Amino acid sequence: MNAPPAEPAHRFTALDSLRGIAALGVAVHHIQATSGPATWPLFAHGQLFVDFFFVLSGFVIAASYGERLAKGFPLRRFAVLRVGRVWPLHAFMVLLGLALEVLSLAIRPRGLSASAPFTGLHDPLHAFTALFLLDGMIPGWSNYYSRAGWTISVELLLYALAALAFRRGRSGLIAFAVLAIAALAAMFAGCDAPLATNAVQRGLTGFALGTACWFVHRRFEGEGLPMATLAEAAALLALLTVIAFPPGPFPTLPVIAASALVVLVFAQQQGTISRVLCRNPWVWLGQVSYALYMVHAMVKGRAIDIAILASQSFQMPIAQWSIDGDTPVKQLTLAPLPSTLLQLVIVALMLLAAHFAHRWIEEPARQWSRRLAGRL
C-alpha cells in the first residue's frame, strides 16, 4: 500500500486565521435582525467575505499543489483529496436539512416554514442539486438545503481548472489567466448563463488572482516586508472598508483586489498582527472555519425557530417572519441590547457546532480521503 500523500509543505497560519474571521463575518451577516451587530455595515455586507475565500483558495491551491501537479502528481489523487476535503460535511448538512424537512412533514410546526414541507424552495429538486453540488452552475439558484453550497460547487470547478492548468505548465496557466479575464468581461457585460454563472465568474476572477499572488509571493519570499505591522494594518483596513462600504456597481471587484493585497501581505507573517493571528483563539478559528461556514445557517435557522416559538407563546417581540425582496426570512426584532446579546449567543452556538462538526465529520473525512488517495 502506498503511503498517504504528504501534507503540503507551505503553511500560512495567519491566513488560516483570517479565513476563520471571514467565515465568522459571513455567519453574522446571515443573522437577520432589525438591530444589533448583524445590521452594522461590515456585517450587513458580510456576503462579500466570500470573495476573500476565493482569492485565498487560489493562493493556497497554487502553494500546496501547483508545483506537484506540474511534476506529475496524479490528478486522481488531487481530486480525491479536494472532494474529500469539502464534500462530506457539505453532504451531511444537506442530509440533515432533508431530515428536518421530514420531521416538519410529520409534526407540521406552526409558523416555522414559509411553505408546506417539500414545496417551493424546499422542493426535493433543491436537495438533489445541493447534494451533487450543481447550485453554482445554475443562474440565480438559491438553495434551502445548502445555503453555502454554491461556493463549494464553484470551488470544485476551480480546483479542476487549476489542476489542468498546472499540469499543462506555462501554456495551461496562460489559458487559465485568459479564462479569468473572460470571466471578468462577462461579469461587466452582465452575462449569467448555465456553467458560466455570475457565481463562477466571481469565483474564477478571485481564484485566478489568488493564484497569481502565489507566484508574486514566491518571487519575493524571504525578503523583508518594510514596516510589516503598518502594511498589515493598512491591507486589513482596506479590505474591511470595501466590505463595509462597497463602492460602485461591481462591489466584488474592489473586495477581490483588497483580498489579494491582504493575502500578499499576511503570507509574509512578519508583522505584529500576523503574530497575534498565529496564536489561539485565532488559530482554532481558522481550523474550524470551513465547518463554521457549513453549519452556521442551520444553527442560525434553528435558533430563530426557537425565538419565533417563544414570540408566539409569550407574546413577546423576539422574532418574526419578514420579507426580503420576494423571499420570506426569519428576523430578530428585539431592541439593540437584547438583540446583540441574543446574536452573541447564536454565534457561540455556531462556533460550538463548528467545533464538533470539524472534529467528528470534517477531519475524519479528510483523513479517510488521504488514505484513499494514498492507494491510488
Q: Is residue 122 part of a domain?
A: yes
Q: Which pLDDT does position 223 carry in this prediction?
A: 84
Average pLDDT of the segment spanning 106-129: 79
Q: Is residue 289 part of a domain?
A: yes
Dist CA 120 CA 39 (whole Å) = 28
Q: Is residue 5 part of a domain?
A: no
**Residue 110 pLDDT class (50, 70, 90 cuts):** low
Average pLDDT of the segment spanning 171-182: 97
Instruction: Check residue 70 and report its DSSP letter.
Output: H
Provide, rounded to the nearest whole percent, the portion of the chain with pLDDT above 70: 95
User: What are 47's three cell numbers?
Assistant: 456576503
Which is more confident, 4 or 376? 376
**Residue 171 pLDDT class (50, 70, 90 cuts):** very high
Q: Which pLDDT does position 301 carry in this prediction?
A: 93
Q: Which pLDDT does position 144 carry in this prediction?
A: 85
In contact, 163 and 75? CB cutoff 8 Å: yes
Dist CA 93 CA 357 (whole Å) = 10
Q: Which pLDDT does position 260 carry in this prediction?
A: 98
Dist CA 267 CA 261 (whole Å) = 10
- Is pLDDT of 2 > 60? no
Dist CA 359 CA 88 (whole Å) = 13
**Residue 326 pLDDT class (50, 70, 90 cuts):** low
Q: Is residue 1 part of a domain?
A: no
Which domain, by its residues, includes 216?
Answer: 13-374
- Is pLDDT of 5 > 50? no
Dist CA 30 CA 168 (whole Å) = 40
Q: Is residue 2 part of a domain?
A: no
**Residue 255 pLDDT class (50, 70, 90 cuts):** very high
Cα end-to-end distance, the chain, whole Å = 9
Q: Which pLDDT does position 75 carry in this prediction?
A: 97
- Is pLDDT of 9 > 60? no
Q: What is the pTM for the complete model shown?
A: 0.95
**Residue 47 pLDDT class (50, 70, 90 cuts):** very high
Give the orientation angle of helix 228-244 with respect to helix 252-266, to 10 degrees.
160
> Which residue in the block uniquely carries the three cell numbers 457546532?
353
Handedness of CA 31, 35, 36, 40 (dihedral sign): positive
Overall domain count for the chain: 1
Q: Is residue 4 part of a domain?
A: no
- How many Cα atoms occupy the beta-carbon half-sphere of 270 within 13 Å? 16
In contact, 322 and 331? CB cutoff 8 Å: yes
Q: Is residue 360 part of a domain?
A: yes
Q: Is residue 3 part of a domain?
A: no
Q: Kindly list the distances between the CA atom of residue 145 and the CA atoms of 348, 351, 369, in Å, as whole numbers in the listed order.
A: 22, 20, 24
In contact, 256 and 206? CB cutoff 8 Å: yes
Dist CA 161 CA 141 (whole Å) = 22
